[in-house]
């Protein structure tokens, strides 16, 4: 099974990149974690934010396989405990399909990506910096896997 983190943004601080790589490296070969970076749409003075989000949405939708189980990271989604995430991961594994986790840009996900999602997951009611979301998600996926396999990393 492959979990793909499809995220808007391409220029992350080194601490984000290194942290993400560390947790992706720790994931087992039967549940790999891959990053697919989406070029952000142009924003700024005189730019159309809706057009930028549409461009990001087009790229995200193109990166999702038709057979993927899609999880949109949305502030209005359902919050999970780490144990509930582990249960979700076990379900994904038993389902036998790959998973696409979608992380939007500064304004969030294009509505078409949210509509394509099979489920919506909220990391927090807080607005989190998008680079930090990559690191948080990768760590929580590793922690969820550690619960599934009774690995000592998770000491709840």
Task: Enumerate the known binding-site residues.
Answer: 73, 104, 123-128
User: Cα angle at 120 between 70 and 15, to 5 degrees?
Assistant: 80
Burial of 138: CB neighbours in 10 Å, binned 0-12, 13-18, 19+: buried
C-alpha closest to that of 156 among 62, 84, 77: 84
User: What is the Cα 66 distance to its own chain's centre?
Assistant: 17
C-alpha closest to that of 88 among 118, 112, 66, 114: 118
Question: What's the CA gap between 108 and 151, in Å, rounded?
Answer: 34
Annotated binding site for S-adenosyl-L-methionine: 73, 104, 123-128
Q: Which two three-digit tokens encode residue 104?
A: 């939007």
b vs e for 4-21, b when ≥16 Cβ sit within 10 Å of the residue's Cβ?
Answer: bbbbbbeebeeebeebbe
């Amino acid at each position: 099974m492959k979990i793909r983190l499809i995220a808007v943004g391409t220029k992350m601080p080194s601490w984000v990149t290194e942290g993400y790589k560390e947790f992706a490296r720790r994931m087992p070969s039967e549940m790999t974690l891959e990053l697919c970076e989406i070029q952000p749409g142009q924003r700024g003075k005189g730019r159309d934010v809706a057009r930028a989000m549409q461009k990001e949405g087009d790229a995200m939708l193109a990166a999702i396989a038709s057979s993927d189980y899609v999880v949109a990271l949305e502030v209005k989604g359902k919050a999970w405990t780490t144990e509930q995430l582990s249960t979700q991961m076990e379900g994904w594994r038993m389902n036998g399909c790959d998973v696409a986790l979608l992380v939007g840009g500064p304004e969030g996900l294009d509505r078409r990506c949210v509509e394509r999602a099979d489920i919506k997951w909220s990391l927090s009611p807080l607005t989190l910096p998008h680079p930090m979301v990559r690191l948080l998600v990768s760590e929580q996926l590793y922690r969820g896997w550690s619960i599934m396999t009774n690995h000592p990393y998770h000491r709840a």
